[in-house]
Amino acid sequence: MDNLNKNELLALANDWLTENEGKKKSTINDVAKLANVSKKTVSRVINQPNTVKVTTRTRVETIINKIKFQPDMQARGLAFRHSFLVGMIYDNPNAQYTLNMQQGILDGLKGSGYELVVHPCDRNQQDFVEEAKQFIERQKLRGVILTPSASEDERMAKMLKEIDCDYVRVASVSLDDPKHMLVSNDMQGGVLVAKHLCSLGHQRIAFVTGKKGFRSSEERQKGFEVGLAEHNLSLNPRYIAQGQYTFESGIAAGHQLISLNPIPTAIFAANDEMAAGVMQAMRVKGMSVPNDISIVGFDDFQIALNVWPRLTTVHSPTLDIGRLAAQHLLGMNNSHAPGPESTPWLVERESTTHLAANN
Amino acid sequence: MDNLNKNELLALANDWLTENEGKKKSTINDVAKLANVSKKTVSRVINQPNTVKVTTRTRVETIINKIKFQPDMQARGLAFRHSFLVGMIYDNPNAQYTLNMQQGILDGLKGSGYELVVHPCDRNQQDFVEEAKQFIERQKLRGVILTPSASEDERMAKMLKEIDCDYVRVASVSLDDPKHMLVSNDMQGGVLVAKHLCSLGHQRIAFVTGKKGFRSSEERQKGFEVGLAEHNLSLNPRYIAQGQYTFESGIAAGHQLISLNPIPTAIFAANDEMAAGVMQAMRVKGMSVPNDISIVGFDDFQIALNVWPRLTTVHSPTLDIGRLAAQHLLGMNNSHAPGPESTPWLVERESTTHLAANN
DNA sequence: CTGAAAGCGCTTACAG
DNA sequence: CTGAAAGCGCTTACAG
């Protein structure tokens, strides 16, 4: 039996296939029988191919491919004591961000055999940590990826450590051991905005913050101030408006900022949504963007292209971040290297221009 | 042992808890031992509580709650021959739609013990059906929910039938046996738009279609024409512009439509994204919305509120649709009733107004 | 380099 | 109404 050549082996598998047509799915036992090895050897070919003699391995692989054997993830999970699922725990209200992140994670998981289970949470709810814990334990997740602001919650991180669940936190600043972090470096994005506006000659620049307690907003502001400082400028507290990361809050902030005297010549909003709201406020007041005032956003989501003029903004590589986070999670045991970082870049569009002479 | 009262039982469980603190998770065997029954009886309490004597059941439930026993879904899945996972297969490019649908499905799954695994697909890829098949079989999914346009693909439906996988297709028109359908009734939304515009006195009305091959666009148009017919109007083919469901295609369609002579007094775009694009085109041409021209969208997503004037549109209850689809899927075996339908409604905002006298 | 036995934590099929 | 045995499809631990 062991001396069958490939064609004889395939013929054997073909016979078996016609015999079992329409019957239940093939198992590791079927493969073992056809390849004339023990099921343990088939298991080795699947999990640690290098430990199997090449001729044996080739024989087993030929059968696996021929009868399209797929190991049962349920059974594998039971034996391995964890499932082949990765969880994404999130509470970000922005659809585009969340979906991009999902897609990035799925990219990173591709080919690994792992699937993505999504799990929104609500930090305002009393039992949201306990609820997440039950979710993870019930499905014996391989690990979880957290995005802001769920990723910034220390109660959540504490729980994950307690139940010894692998995890990666996506955030704009390092909050944990590097092996648990994927830093999106929003600060650097803020620096880029400052440089851009300064290079256009602006000096009276306003800032619209994001939602209170969101690290991303703090980091974007911090970077912005660092960038301004390099041009010997600083952010006047009067020119800082509190926003909520929403379109509506952008409108309000816009109205507040243009009522100032002197009026700012440029406004940096901590995300695109608010920048679009600021533009709305300008329009209502009959001000022209960018001639009367330059506006910059952050994220580079769809909305940046849907407004007119289109928004100059910072592109945050959400897809890449998701992919890196997934790879970081699955490779967690292999590396004690610091977690990867992602680098944003500036996208110049029509909402910013040189400071007009009359300003 | 069987005569222990509740407090004695709890004390017993407490002892066990302190003894096993930090050790591995509790299993059905632990519950059986503490409740002094066989594990089969514990299994019955979990799966078919009615078949167990009340006193026994209460005893078992007390233990389960006390030691916070959660059955292992991996093991349960293996024995049941299917996992406790539901898949969502989608290819809709609109982030808001997809995320709302996810959230709706999660709502419908809540409390069922099932989790949601997301799986985007690309109908342009040669092997997208085979790929989905492997996904389902590898994880032994309990069932899948398909959204447009993946839900409109008959090759996909055929494959699902072949592998005997429970599924629900969300679409704007019935494409399958009622037990496999969740109809979103977009046609009715189209009727509402026609009625609204006619009631405002408009007669020269244009339509921007969605992406070719999307049933939703066809249904919205069909309903629109039905509604117009009720007012003895019809859609002039010259006033139909082909769109792609994207913002950019809305701009193009807008330019095309206002170059017509006579110019339409109202435009209905098959989704909000395109309606926003049409408004953009109006702005560029110096036309005022709604005074020069009324504009209506469809979906009622965030973008409808981000434009100015805010968009009159049809609210499609995506969350409800997702929830109903999930419930329909899980209850599939219980009912042979026709699949549920969802009803859209009109949201009047500032982008539509009475036909001006000079038109 | 390979295999026979035991086990992962549940449920099904059978029995009483 | 309840239980002992066998099994779901894999892997671990041990042996050779």
pLDDT digits 0-9 by tens, B292-316 = 999 999 999 989 998 889 999 999 9
Q: Which of residues 58-77 of A touch strand C (CB under 7 A)?
A: 75
- Assigned token pair, A68: 């399209």
Tokens 């409108």 map to which residue? A251
Q: What residue type is assigned to position A249 of the chain? A: S
B113/A84 CB distance under 8 A = no
The CATH number assigned to the domain holding B308 equals 3.40.50.2300
- Its domain, for residue B67, covers 6-71
C-alpha span between B204 and B190 (Å, rounded): 16
How far is the first Cα of chain B from the last one, in angstroms, to the nearest whole number?
Answer: 89
- B306/A117 touch (CB, cutoff 8 Å), yes or no: no
Please indicate whether, in this complex, the C-beta atoms of B74 and A78 are within 8 angstroms of each other. Answer: yes
Say if residue B231 is in the same domain as residue B180. no
Residue A356 placed within a domain: no
Does residue B283 contact residue B248 with C-beta atoms inside 8 Å?
A: no
Chain B residues inside the 8 Å CB shell of A115: 85, 117, 119, 135, 139
On whether both B330 and B181 belong to a single domain, the answer is yes
Name the pairing type of β-strands A181-183 and A143-146: unpaired
Q: Is the peptide bond before A71 cis (omega within 30 degrees of 0)?
A: no
**Partners of residue A25 in chain B, C-beta under 8 Å:** 137
Query: Alpha-carbon distance A55 to B21, whole Å?
Result: 49
Tokens at B67, concatenated: 């030691």
Instruction: For residue A103, give the nearest of B103, B113, B120 by CB distance.
Output: B120
Long-range CB contact pairs, B260-263, < 8 A, 24+: B260/B206, B262/B204, B263/B204, B263/B293
B68 touches strand C (CB under 7 A): no
Q: Give the nucleotide nearest to A57 (CA→C1').
A: C1
What are A170's strand-pairing partners? A182
CB B344 within 8 A of CB B189: yes
CA nearest neighbour of A103 among B87, B150, B121, B138: B121
Q: Are residues A297 and A196 in the same domain?
A: yes
- Strand C and B25 CB separated by under 7 Å: yes
Those residues whose beta carbons lie under 7 A from strand D are A 24-25, 27-29, 39-40, 42-43, 46-47, 69, 71-72, 75-76, 78-80; B 37-38, 40-41, 44, 51-53, 55-57, 75, 78-79, 81
Residue B243 has pLDDT above 80, yes or no: yes
- Quick one: closest CA in A to B68, which residue? A134
pLDDT at A339: 61
Whether residue B298 is found in the same domain as residue B255: yes
Query: Residue range B45-68: average pLDDT?
Result: 90
Q: How confident is the model at residue B221 (pLDDT cuts 50, 70, 90)?
A: very high
Domain membership flag for residue A352: no
Query: Distance (Å) from the C-alpha of residue B165 to the closest C-alpha of chain A?
Result: 13
The answer on B308 and B190 residing in a single domain is yes
**B132 and B250 within one domain:** no
Arithmetic mean of pLDDT over chain B: 91
The predicted-structure confidence for A59-79, as pLDDT tens digits, reads as follows: 899 999 999 999 999 999 999
Q: What is the pLDDT of residue A336?
A: 52
The residues, any chain, with a CB within 8 Å of residue B183's CB and separated by 6 or more, are B171, B172, B173, B174, B339, B340, B341, B342
Residue A1 lies in a domain: no
Q: For residues B210 and B242, is the Cβ–Cβ distance under 8 A?
A: no
- Rounded CA separation B37/B28 (Å): 11
- B357 occurs within a structural domain: no
Ordered per-residue pLDDT tens for chain A, 359 residues: 456 676 766 776 777 777 777 667 889 999 998 999 998 999 999 998 888 888 889 989 999 999 999 999 999 999 999 999 999 999 987 888 999 999 999 999 999 999 999 999 999 999 999 999 999 999 999 999 999 989 999 999 999 999 999 999 999 999 999 999 999 999 999 999 999 999 999 999 999 999 988 899 999 999 999 999 999 999 999 999 999 998 889 999 999 999 999 999 999 999 999 999 999 999 889 999 999 999 999 999 989 998 889 999 999 999 999 999 999 999 865 555 556 678 899 999 999 999 875 55
Q: Hey, CA dihedral for A188, A193, A198, A199, is it positive or negative?
A: positive
Instruction: With beta carbons under 8 A apart, name residues in chain B contacting A106.
Output: 118, 120
- The reply to whether the CB atom of residue B92 sits less than 7 A from any atom in nucleic acid chain C is no
Count of A-B CB contacts under 8 Å: 109
User: How many domains does chain B fold into?
Assistant: 3
Facing A120 at nearest CB: one of B106, B119, B120: B106
pLDDT of residue B222: 97
Do both B119 and B203 map to the same domain? no
Residues of A (224-263) placing their beta carbon closer than 7 angstroms to any atom of strand C are: none
Distance A30 CA to C7 C1' (A): 21
Mutate one of A121, A139, A287, A299 to test the B interface: name it (highest B CB count within 10 A). Answer: A139
Q: How high is the pLDDT of residue B312?
A: 98
Q: Tens digits of per-residue pLDDT, B262-283?
A: 999 999 999 999 999 999 999 8
Interface-testing mutation among A69, A72, A74, with chain B (most B C-beta atoms within 10 A): A74
Question: What residues have CB less than 8 Å from B91, skipping those under 6 apart?
Answer: B120, B121, B122, B123, B149, B150
Domain-located, residue B346:
no
Give the burial string for A29-47 (b: 16+ CB within 10 Å, else e).
Answer: ebbbebbbbeeebbbbbbe
Could you tell me if residue A34 is left (phi over 0), alpha (psi between -120 and 50 degrees) or otherwise beta? alpha
AA identity, residue B317: P
Lowest mean pLDDT among B58-62, B251-255, B260-264: B58-62
Q: Which residue is nearest to nucleotide C12 (CA to C1')?
A: B79
Distance of C1' in C15 from CA in B103, Å: 47
Give the residue from B71, B98, B114 where a domain finishes: B71
Check whether residue B300 and residue B331 sit in a common domain: no
A306 and A325 together in one domain: no
SS3 (DSSP) at B177: coil
Picking from A74, A135, A284, the nearest residue to B74 by CB comes out as A74
- Of B71, B105, B123, the position where a domain reaches its end is B71
B82/D9 CA-to-C1' distance in Å: 12
Task: Decide: A305 and B247 in contact? Cβ < 8 Å.
Answer: yes
Selection from A349, A278, A355, A279 nearest residue A314 by Cα = A349
Which of B32, B50, B71 represents a domain boundary (last residue)?
B71
Residue B189 near residue B175 (C-beta atoms within 8 A): no
> What is the model's pTM?
0.91
In this complex, the residue of A118, A138, A277 whose CB is nearest that of residue B116 is A118
Domain co-membership, B166 together with B192:
no
Q: Are residues B62 and B118 in the same domain?
A: no
Nearest residue on chain A to B82, judged by CA atoms? A74
Which is more confidently placed, B93 or A33? A33
CB-closest option in B25, B78, B284 to A75: B78
Does residue B38 share a domain with residue B64? yes
Residue B55 inside a domain? The answer is yes
Give the nearest partner residue to B280 out of A72, A120, A308, using CB atoms.
Answer: A308
Is B74's CB within 8 Å of A83's CB? yes
Interface-testing mutation among A96, A99, A135, with chain B (most B C-beta atoms within 10 A): A99
Contact B271, B210 (CB under 8 A): yes
Could you tell me if residue A235 is inside a domain? Answer: yes
Using the structure, give the distance in angstroms from the CA atom of B128 to the C1' atom of C12, rounded to a whole number: 36
At residue B88, the 3 state secondary structure works out as: strand
State phi, psi for A120 to the nearest 5 degrees.
-70, 155
Is residue A357 domain-resident? no
Contact A247 B77 (CB under 8 A): no
Specify the CATH number for the domain of residue B13: 1.10.260.40
- Å separating the CA of residue B99 from the C1' of nucleotide D10: 35
Q: Is residue B339 predicted with pLDDT exceeding 90?
A: no
Residue type for A256, please?
Q
